[in-house]
Amino acid sequence: MEGPRGLEEREIPSAAELANAVFRNDSKYKMEDEYPLLFSRDNLDDMRVFVDAGKVVSLVGMSIKDVVIMGCRLRTVSIGSVCTYPEYRNRGLATKLMEDATQRALDEGAVVMLISGGRGLYRRLGCINAGLYKSFFVRRDQLGEANNSLVIRKYDEEDIVDLVKLHQLEPIRFIRPYEDFKVLLATKRLCDRVSETYVIENEGVAVAYVCLQLPETKGKPLIIEEFAGSRMAVLTTLGGLMDEEGTESAVIDIPSADIVMEHLLFALGVKESKRGFMGTVKLIDANGFFENIDTYITEILGAKRRKDLAITCSANKPELTFEYAKERLNISGFDRITAFVFGTIEEPLQVETDEVKATVPELGKLLTTIFPMPLVDYGLNYV
C-alpha cells in the first residue's frame, strides 16, 4: 500500500474509476467530466491517494484557490471527491488522507478549508457548517414588469471575457481566471447539478450573468447559485429565464452581505430563509487568516483602535484571544473559532452578540462590528 501521496498521471483513470464507483454508480455523468480542474494533469499533487497494487483505493481531492472577501485576498482549499472502496474502509485511510491534505494545504498557504460534505470524518477534524447565507423563493407573480431594453441569452465562448470582468466586480468571490471560467462553464454543471449560464445585455453590453441549476422535473424552480453584475437586471429578466426553462419559480441564494439583492427582493415581497455553507468549513490557519484580513479590520475600526486591539493565535493548539481596553476574550477549539469568525446556523455554536457585549463591553462592541465575516459560496467552483 502506497500513500498518502499525490496522484501520478497514469493513475488519473484509476482515481476517476474509484470516484465514479462511489458517486456516479448509476449515472450517465462522470466525475472526471464534471470536475475537470480536479481530475487534471495540473492538479496531480493535490489529489491525495492511497494506492494498492497500482489501483487507487482511497482519494481526497483538493482544489487550492485564492478568494476575495471584502477586499482581502485569502487562500482556500476546497475538498471534494472523498471516497474509498468498500473493501478498504474502516482502516483509517480517509482520515490519514484528510490529515495529509490539511498539511499540504497549510504548506501551500491556505488558511480556510471548504468541504462539500458534512460527514462524521470532517466533524471529527473540527469542521462545522459555518457561514451565513440567505435563500429567496421567488414566484412569477411577484416579479414586476420586464425591462424591454434588456436581452437574455445563453452564454457563448466569446462572452467569457465579459463574464470575467463582471465577476471581478463582486466583493466576495473566488479568483477565477479566464481558463478556469472556460473549462467550468463547458461542463454545464453547477454545484453537482445540470446547469445553464445566461448573459444579460443592455444595448449590446453585458451588464450581468446568471448561472442556474436547471429543474430536475417539470415545474420545479430554477436555482440560481451564482450571478454577477446588476442585481436589478437579474431580477427584471428573471421572468424571461423562467420562460426559457419552463417554470414559474426560482430560488436565489446569496451571501448575507449582499444587501443590494436582499433589499430588491424584499421590495418584491419575497421572504427569506437562512442557510449555511453547502458543506462544512474549518479555519485551518488562524494566524495567516488574521494577517490577510488586517485591512478589513483596520477599515472598520480605524488605525488607532486597530493598533489597540491585540489578536493572538496559539501556534500549538486551536486557541484565539482578543484583548482591548483591559478586556480579554478567549475562544478555544477549531469549531468555535470558525463559528465566531464566519457565523453559523448550528445553534450550539452560535455566538450571541448581546452575551459577548455583556461579558466584555468595549471589546465586544468592536468584535461584533467585525464578525461574523462574510464567506464565499461555491458557485462554479464547487468540487
Tell me the mean pLDDT in the region 156-183: 98
- Rg over CA atoms, the chain: 22
Q: Is residue 77 part of a domain?
A: yes
Tell me the mean pLDDT in the region 33-49: 97
Same domain, 138 and 271: yes
Same domain, 33 and 84: yes
| Lowest-pLDDT choice from 98-112, 168-182, 257-271, 341-355 | 341-355
Tell me the mean pLDDT in the region 20-44: 96
Bridging pattern class, strands 112-115 and 172-174? unpaired
Rounded CA gap, 310 and 338, in Å? Answer: 18
Question: Of 250, 275, 300, which residue sits at a domain end?
Answer: 275
HSE on the CB side for 364, CA within 13 Å? 11
Please, what is the Cα angle at 100 between 94 and 101, to 5 degrees?
85
Percentage of the chain beyond pLDDT 70 is 100
Same domain, 174 and 249: yes
Same domain, 269 and 295: no
Q: Is residue 122 part of a domain?
A: no
Q: Is residue 380 part of a domain?
A: no
Q: Would you say residue 257 has pLDDT above 80?
A: yes
Question: Of 275, 310, 337, which residue sits at a domain end?
Answer: 275
Q: Is residue 128 part of a domain?
A: no
Kindly report, residue by residue over 83-108, the tens digit of the pLDDT: 999 999 999 999 999 999 999 999 99
**Could you give the number of structural domains in the chain?**
3
- Band of pLDDT at residue 352, cut at 50, 70 and 90: confident
The number of helix segments (H) and strand segments (E) in the chain equals 15, 18
In the chain, the largest separation of any two C-alpha atoms, in whole Å, equals 64
3-state secondary structure of 6: strand
- Band of pLDDT at residue 316, cut at 50, 70 and 90: confident
Q: Would you say residue 147 has pLDDT above 80?
A: no
Contact 215/221 with Cβ under 8 angstroms? yes
Tell me the mean pLDDT in the region 17-39: 95
**Domain harbouring 52, CATH code:** 3.40.630.30
Kindly report, residue by residue over 125-137, the tens digit of the pLDDT: 999 999 999 999 9
Would you state the cell numbers that stand for residue 147, as one nine-digit string? 425591462
Q: Is residue 22 part of a domain?
A: yes
Q: Would you say residue 170 has pLDDT above 90?
A: yes
- Band of pLDDT at residue 26, cut at 50, 70 and 90: confident
Same domain, 45 and 140: no
- Nearest Cα to 57, choosing from 105, 104, 91? 91
Q: Is residue 377 part of a domain?
A: no
Tell me the mean pLDDT in the region 331-352: 95
3-state secondary structure of 176: coil
Q: Is residue 162 part of a domain?
A: yes
Rounded CA gap, 259 and 307, in Å? Answer: 30
Bridging pattern class, strands 193-202 and 72-84? unpaired
Tell me the mean pLDDT in the region 253-270: 96
Q: Would you say residue 146 has pLDDT above 80?
A: no
Same domain, 198 and 93: no
Q: Is residue 383 part of a domain?
A: no
Confidence (pLDDT) at 216: 86
Confidence (pLDDT) at 354: 84
pTM here is 0.96
Tell me the mean pLDDT in the region 319-331: 97
Same domain, 291 and 264: no
Bridging pattern class, strands 189-190 and 47-52? unpaired
Domain range spanning residue 244? 133-275
Rounded CA gap, 125 and 338, in Å? Answer: 12
Q: What values do phi and psi take at 311, rounded to 5?
A: -120, 120
Question: Of 218, 242, 275, which residue sits at a domain end?
Answer: 275
Would you state the cell numbers that stand for residue 109, as one nine-digit string? 498557504
Strand partners, 74: 67
Would you state the cell numbers that stand for residue 86, as one nine-digit string? 468498500
Rounded CA gap, 309 and 27, in Å? Answer: 53
Residue type, 264: L
Confidence (pLDDT) at 107: 98
Same domain, 152 and 269: yes
Same domain, 99 and 166: no
Same domain, 354 and 270: no
Same domain, 76 and 144: no
Confidence (pLDDT) at 315: 82
Same domain, 242 and 351: no
